[in-house]
Structure 1
């Protein structure tokens, strides 16, 4: 590769640029190669490249056409070569894709001009790719998480002539079979040697036996930068202690020849507020911009998301050579790992001086069949995340890195991103030089790509790495430590020193998954965990449940969904009480991860089992989230919140599956989604029960104080009032208070009474025993549709009122699966009818009401 004069060094914390003299080029042009692509399965791992190039220049019927980016499975499905892998057991029928080698080809014309480099940029190759241009090898690539560029000036055809690009993808499964593990790494799975999505190699996300993908999953670009271009712009805002003054440090990396660059800073309204110019004779390309009275970026639950814009242009004699725009937010994020008053361990984030309770979810890959990005699908999930009253999203280490547009959206929406590096369960073979260097370049590239985004909350080494070793071996890991404790922290300190680096999730304490140090993952379905009722930060919590009936009908036949004569009765301890195909479309051992299904009536149909699983999932999440937001174990004194974050595992599904998500593969919220949404209300009213008393708490995770009359009623299910208490309360931002004890209401009957607390329009209902033991009267629901709203009322207590859009999947309602107290009226907005017009409203103890929307 030629040297185009790109040299940088650092001095006194400022990035400086040394340049060499070159003749000037023209304005940079970039072309995304989306058309004229074909793929073909290869019958050998040593193809004749010359013959393959000739064939690709005039593809015959052996080649399958496609736009890019696209991976092999989706192209085969488009051409009818495989059955839909989302349905039934079809995924197993196409698992052979990962055993084969594949050729991708593209024909494109050479760009104009004969000076300076011409780069081919590969933003996402999965994974083992050897690339040829016009029959000449230009690179070997082996990491799907890295972006690659190659100067191909010397391999291009003359201007305007065709070029043939061929990418040969080798079988990842064959690579893994051939891995020879050194003695110190014998305990690691072989796929750890390949920098490819960990989730591809198992059935954990839903496809059996696996979903090993191959191919181009991000853009391939032809980049003609001229003789001088902008490589990178790094913006580092810093806030003074009074939050009224900001200093924005900017570093610009320039490739090629020297040049003049001009910069303009625009405020969030688009008005120019500062500008400047730096010429080739000036000392370096680092500069600072002072901003007075900056508009601060907040998470969506606490304020607005004003974004400044820095425009940088590179010119020669008033001719534009290159430009770059960076949008950024000015905010201060301080990790608090020790309580300043008590010196107890904490895992809290203070934003612009305010402690913020993080509430959100873990993000699984959008789609299991491909790593290609789906903007519409991502947008719908982010909309549901917002509706779910969340302010943080964890990018899980076992998927892939989303594109820039995703982080742009999170910046604009005020959604913090807990960013894992892409290192999945268990440790990795660090200490091997080639592997370590590959990982270092991957990590540094990822930091450079994302560090300008205000949404990035922290960097995390990976998912369940130290914990995974501990679970399997019973000891803390002796291997892989170089990666998590040397390479990663060094990269973060060098390239983004203003953010916290956390070694893994979970990490901290006596063992990696310890609730009172660092973050914690919820394995309480499998084991008793001491001190885990209120961890410092719960970064994975959940239970398993099923999608809606309409969703399950899309991937299971009627017989698979509920075999004739099937009974879910449990007559053998430990038996999974669902049909065989439900288990097939789940994770091994997933029945051990369901909630307390024994609290509900025994199901006799698929619909009833879906409800029982969903209710057990939802009520578990509600109870855990409420307790964690109160911040102390039940019965302990208030005023010292030890928990400052809760993230459910997980937000979404990559495949149709019965597991821990809140939103199913078809983007329909599952039953637990609405329990989580209500538990994430910024101002939360909740009940706390100990052996001797029931108390009502108010938690205020809004930015403003909350005051009002807190009222609790003891009611029979038919509406008769048996007692009432009331107290005026004031709760400041970030506070959780035990406000009212219900002892003066006297003994409350377990089976035919309940408690109802209100604070303004906020309410909480408390049932004293499991649903199956309640003596519920028959309720009469009335419902009517007015525009996009459903008006509902009940005469007596209605247990779990639900709304369902008839014969469609993906419908979203403002609220769902909620209790209604006697005489209550509610109006529910239909947010997304998903093309449906008929709505069914029903409750456990009420006959369904069906109505048509206008």
Structure 2
């Protein structure tokens, strides 16, 4: 375990970081439950939105766990401020039925300081043929489009986020775990830190890849406060054993679970494959042995596996393979000022004066 922390799928900074202590904990630190059901239950729901000419349709692809194939009824209801505003229902024998609801007079969600953050609730009821309620799914969502815009321009290639058709300047910080002892975190701690972030005019938080996929309470608060989330997958600053099929199978399950869990949140702006693996020089800087990682292995994990999970389970959220990353050339120019994102350490690490930032022309500074 000391030799190969990259194989252990836990908080990477537990093994020590430049700002954190070595505290390699183990044990059950989140709630678990055993679910029993009869006939069928709602396993997962993929929520997408279609925006056109001021109208919004919410689409729910429902994945059912069934004991035996049989006809069931699904009813989808969209609520706003606790009151139903739209609903639809369908009877199906399919394992993944699709429901679509048109939302009248849609109130759009906006990042902090750009507008309000109205939140709707999508509730899906699953019933047996005789009307017996079998399961209920309920999630909050904000109605918006939020995409990464990369287009060729006179300097190279843009890197900006666009919400509801309007480009905006991302202002924010990187988020590391709020406590070295994860069990000491609480919704109150989340609220204090995230409200402070919104109060100083931030509109984006990057969940750094050496920590954890945060609790639901974190993303709920980001929805409420208008804090967009750049979400790293939990890989940072080291080679990973992508040559090992056991590791890849484990990572795929981890990625699917978290992408499914978070895909409905209004705050979710981007999934990013890792923190600084390209900057660290994969295939060159890492030592030989079990922890070595070739470029082909790197690509199999970050260009293929994780990208496909996002495309399949959260197609309305963009994917970026690494941070920092230049999408052109041989990837060695990871802080290319003309395209991609950059990690600029010249001030905090290089001791340059703060005014140096005025000379920076990089497209997107995701860590500085």
Q: TM exceeds 0.5? A: yes
Alignment partner for residue 212 of structure 1, among 13, 21, 24?
Answer: 24
Unmatched segments (≥5 aa) in structure 2: 287-292
| Greater RCO (Cα-Cα under 8 Å, separation 6 or more) | 2
Matching residue of 1:78: none
Equivalent pairs, count: 353
Matched, 1:517 2:339: yes
Helix, strand or coil: the match of 1:279?
A: strand
- Map 1:434-449 onto structure 2 (within 5 A): 434-449=246-261
TM-score (norm 1): 0.39
- The 2-side partners of 1:427 and 1:336 are apart by 30
Question: Matched residues in 2 for 1:305 and 1:417: separation?
Answer: 14
Specify the alignment match of 1:247 in structure 2: 57
Deviation at 1:471, TM superposition (A): 11
Corresponding residue for 1:500?
318
Deviations along 1:150-173, one digit per CA (max 9) or x if unpaired, are xxxxxxxxxxxxxxxxxxxxxxxx
Gap change, CA 1:310 and 1:624, over 3 Å in 2: farther
**Partner residue of 2:144 out of 323, 331, 341:** 331
Alignment RMSD: 2.6
For 2:236, which of 409, 412, 424 is the aligned residue? 424
**Could you say if the C-alpha distance between residues 471 and 365 of structure 1 is closer, same or farther in structure 2, counting changes exceeding 3 Å?**
farther
Q: Write the mapping of 1:278-293 to structure 2, written as runs, cut at 5 A.
A: 278-280=90-92, 285-293=97-105
Alignment map for 1:702-851 (pairs within 5 Å)? none
Corresponding position: 1:455 with 2:267:
yes
In 2, Cα distance between the equivalents of 1:349 and 1:460? 14
Contact kept in structure 2, 1:347 and 1:518, CA below 8 Å: yes
- Other structure's SS at 1:515 match: coil
2:290 equivalent in structure 1? none
Distance 1:484 1:647 in 2: 18
SS in 1 for 2:58: strand
Aligned residues of 1:366 and 1:374 also touching (Cα < 8 A): no
SS in 2 for 1:221: coil
Q: 1:281 to 1:522 in 2, by over 3 A?
A: closer
- Give distance in 2, aligned partners of 1:295 and 1:256: 36
Q: Give the distance between the partners of 1:344 and 1:473, measured in 2 at CA.
A: 29
Cα offset, 1:335, TM superposition? 1.9
Whether contact under 8 Å (2:342, 2:367) holds in the other structure is: no
Select which of 258, 266, 270 maps to 2:82.
270
Task: State the distance in 1 between where 2:173 and 2:87 align.
Answer: 40
Q: Residues 514 and 522 (structure 1 numbering): CA distance in 2 closer, same or farther, change over 3 Å?
A: same
- How far is 1:284 from its partner? 5.8
Q: Report how far residue 477 of structure 1 moved.
A: 5.9
Aligned runs of 1:121-132 on 2, under 5 Å? none
Q: What TM-score comes out, normalization by structure 2 length?
A: 0.87
Q: CA deviation at 1:281?
A: 5.5
- Separation (CA, whole Å) in 1 of partners of 2:43 and 2:364: 37
Relative to 1, partners in 2 of residues 1:645 and 1:473: Cα closer, same or farther, differing over 3 Å?
Answer: closer
- 1:76-128 per-residue CA deviation (whole Å, 9 max, x = no partner) reads xxxxxxxxxxxxxxxxxxxxxxxxxxxxxxxxxxxxxxxxxxxxxxxxxxxxx
Instruction: Check 1:228–1:348 CA distance in 2 against 1; reply closer, same or farther (3 A cut).
Output: same
Sort the Cα spacing of 1:194 and 1:457 in 2 relative to 1 into closer, same or farther, 3 A.
Answer: same
Q: Name the CA distance, whole Å, in 1 between partners of 2:249 and 2:35.
A: 26
Instruction: Using the TM superposition, give the Cα deviation of residue 397 of structure 1 relative to its aligned residue in structure 2, in angstroms.
Output: 0.6
Provide the C-alpha distance between the structure 2 equivalents of 1:319 and 1:643, rounded to a whole number of angstroms: 58
Task: Provide the residue aligned with 2:201 in structure 1.
Answer: 389
**Aligned match for 2:166, one of 346, 349, 354:** 354
Cα distance in 2, alignment partners of residues 523 and 470 from structure 1: 20
Q: Which structure has the larger Rg over C-alpha atoms?
A: 1
The aligned counterpart of 1:489 is: 307
8 A contact 2:343–2:366 mirrored in 1: no
* Equivalent position SS for 2:281: helix
- 2-structure distance, mates of 1:336, 1:343: 15
C-alpha distance in structure 2 between counterparts of 1:442 and 1:329, whole Å: 25
For residues 96 and 283 of structure 2, what CA distance do their matches in structure 1 show? 51
1:260 matched residue in structure 2: 73
Matches of 2:181 and 2:81 in 1, distance apart? 41
How far apart are 1:203 and its partner, in Å? 4.1
Change (3 A) 1:271 1:325: same
Match of 2:131 in 1: 318
Q: Single out whichever of 457-466 and 309-318 deviates more from structure 2.
A: 309-318
Q: Does 1:304 find its partner at 2:116?
A: yes
| 2:13 counterpart (194, 199, 205) | 199
Change (3 A) 1:281 1:486: closer
Offset at 1:228? Answer: 2.0
Shift of 1:343: 6.7
Distance in structure 2 (CA, Å) of the matches to 1:196 and 1:274: 42
Could you list the structure 1 runs, at least 4 aligned residues long, displaced by more than 6 angstroms after superposition.
Answer: none
Provide, for residues 777-819 of structure 1, a one-character-per-residue CA deviation record: whole Å limited to 9, x for no partner.
xxxxxxxxxxxxxxxxxxxxxxxxxxxxxxxxxxxxxxxxxxx
